[in-house]
Amino acid sequence: VIHGQWKPSIPSGQPYLVAACLTTGLMAVSERGNETGRVPCIRVLEPGWNTIRILGVCSGLGPVLTCPWGLCIDSDGDVLVADWGKQQHRVLIYPSKGVGWPLVTDNLSSPRGLALLPDGHVVVSDSMNHCIKIYHYK
């Protein structure tokens, strides 16, 4: 509900996680895909709720998503995703311009939640290792 009105869900998707940047008004919304035959993706929405980018579905734009479990977006429009798969556990970054890449690929076992710190670090909840990890990303 925004200002007392319902906002429609994103087109033909199954929204799962949401993150917002209070500075820019950009939002990142993850869509689950495995149950419906669709692939998971991240939609970046501008303040008017229009999709401006779709991430994680085309290897030419960065890593293809397996199962996003954590999501955040910074004031530059960079999107970070905790992605969990049978063979890979990783944190991905999709910059606002250019191609995304894996930011963290080692020593993660079930990354779940993400949060950004003002000094350019990302905090990762690593649930199977029973810890919180902090990585420099900017």
- Give pLDDT tens digits for 4-34: 555 555 555 678 899 999 999 999 999 887 5
Q: Is the pLDDT of residue 67 over 50?
A: yes
If you compute the radius of gyration of the chain from its CA atoms, what whole number of angstroms results?
A: 14
Per-residue model confidence as pLDDT tens digits over 36-46: 577 889 999 99
| Residue-range domain boundaries for the chain | 15-136
pLDDT of residue 105: 93
Give the pTM: 0.88
CA pseudo-torsion sign 7, 13, 15, 19: negative
Residue of higher predicted confidence among 12 and 73: 73
CB of 121 within 8 A of CB of 137? yes
One CATH from 3.40.30.10, 2.30.130.60, 2.120.10.30, 3.30.70.1070 for 15-136:
2.120.10.30
